Amino acid sequence: MKSFFGGRKRKAKAAEETGILLEALGGSHAIAWFDPDGIVLDANPMFCKVTGYGKEEIIGKPHTMFLAEGDPARSGTSKRIVSVQPGQAHSETVHCVTRDGDDIWLSATYLPITDGQGQLTKVMKIAHDITASVQASSSKTAHLLSQLDAISRAQGKVVYGLDGTIVEVNEKFLNMLGYSEQELMNQTHRKLLNPLYEKSDDYKDFWSSVAGGQFQSGRYERFTKDGTQKWLQCSYAPIRDGNGTQTGVVEFATDVSGRRRSNEQVDAISQVQACIEFKLTGEILTANQLFLDAVGYSLEEIKGKHHRIFMKDTDAGSEEYATHWERLAAGEIISGEVERRRKDGSTIWLVGSYNPVLGPDGKPYKVVKYAQDVTERRRAIGVLKSAMNRMARGDLSEQITDHFSEDFMALKMDFNDTQTKLKETIESVLQSTQRISAGTTEISDASNELSSRTESQAAALEQSAAAITEMAASVKSTAEIAENTRGVVEKTKARASAGSGVMSDAREAMDAISSSSSEISKITEVIDDIAFQTNLLALNAGVEAARAGEAGRGFAVVASEVRALAQRSSEAATQIAKLISTSAEQVQQGVGLVSKTGESLSEIETFVADVANMVGNIAAAASEQSGGLDEITSAISNLDDVTQKNAAMFEETNAATQLLANEVAALGQITASFKIGEDGSLSRIEPAARLASQKLRA
In this model, does residue 92 exceed pLDDT 50? yes
CA distance to 25, 31, 66, 88, 512, per residue, from 123 (Å): 16, 10, 16, 11, 182
DSSP 77-137: S-HHHHTPPTT--EEEEEEEE-TTS-EEEEEEEEEEEE-TTS-EEEEEEEEEE-HHHHHHH
- CATH for 273-373 (3.40.50.720, 3.40.309.10, 3.30.450.20, 3.90.580.10): 3.30.450.20
Q: Which residues contact residue 532 at a Cβ distance below 8 angstroms, ignoring those fewer than 6 apart?
A: 566, 570
Which residue from 36, 101, 42, 37 is spatially nearest to 66, judged by alpha carbons? 101
Q: Report pLDDT digits (tens) over 228-241.
A: 888 888 889 898 87
pLDDT band at 41 (very low <50, low <70, confident <90, very high): very high
Average pLDDT (629-639) is 74
pTM beyond 0.85: the answer is no
pLDDT band at 267 (very low <50, low <70, confident <90, very high): low
The percent helix, strand, coil of the chain (3-state, each to 5) is 65, 20, 20
Give per-residue burial for 162-171: e unless 16+ CB within 10 Å, then b.
Answer: beeebeebbe
Of residues 163 and 382, which shows the higher confidence score? Answer: 163
Q: Which residues contact residue 297 at a Cβ distance below 8 angstroms, ignoring those fewer than 6 apart?
A: 343
Q: Report pLDDT digits (tens) over 619-628.
A: 777 777 777 7
- Write out the E strands in 323-403: 334-341, 347-358, 364-373
The CATH number of domain 24-137 is 3.30.450.20: yes
| Strand duo 347-358 + 364-373: pairing | antiparallel
Kind and range of the H or E element at 154? helix 131-154
The fraction of the chain above a pLDDT of 70, given in percent, is: 78
Contact 667, 643 (CB under 8 A): no
| Strand duo 347-358 + 103-114: pairing | unpaired
pLDDT band at 159 (very low <50, low <70, confident <90, very high): very high
Distance of alpha carbon 525 from its chain centroid, rounded? 127
In this model, does residue 300 exceed pLDDT 80? yes
DSSP assignment letter at 251 = E
Residue range(s) in the chain whose domain bears CATH number 3.30.450.20: 24-137, 155-256, 273-373
Contact 591, 507 (CB under 8 A): yes
Kind and range of the H or E element at 175? helix 171-177
In this model, does residue 279 exceed pLDDT 90? yes
Q: What are phi and psi of 70, to 5 degrees?
A: 90, -10
One-letter amino acid at 427 equals E
Q: Report pLDDT digits (tens) over 553-596.
A: 777 777 777 777 777 777 777 777 777 777 777 777 777 777 77
In this model, does residue 82 exceed pLDDT 50? no
Positive/negative CA dihedral, 151, 153, 157, 159: positive
Within 10 angstroms of residue 523's Cβ, the number of other Cβ atoms is 14
pLDDT band at 305 (very low <50, low <70, confident <90, very high): very high
Average pLDDT (447-470) is 72
CATH topology of domain 416-672: Helix Hairpins (1.10.287)
Average pLDDT (9-24) is 59
Q: Which residues contact residue 650 at a Cβ distance below 8 angstroms, ignoring those fewer than 6 apart?
A: 447, 450, 451, 454
Contact 353, 335 (CB under 8 A): yes
Residue range(s) in the chain whose domain bears CATH number 1.10.287.950: 416-672
Q: What CATH superfamily is the domain 155-256?
A: PAS domain (3.30.450.20)
Positive/negative CA dihedral, 117, 122, 127, 131: positive
For 26, counting Cβ atoms within 10 Å of its Cβ (0-12 exposed, 13-18 middle, 19+ buried), the class is middle
CA distance 619 to 622: 5
pLDDT band at 284 (very low <50, low <70, confident <90, very high): very high
Amino acid 161: pLDDT: 93
The fraction of the chain above a pLDDT of 90, given in percent, is: 14
Contact 94, 64 (CB under 8 A): no
pLDDT band at 24 (very low <50, low <70, confident <90, very high): low
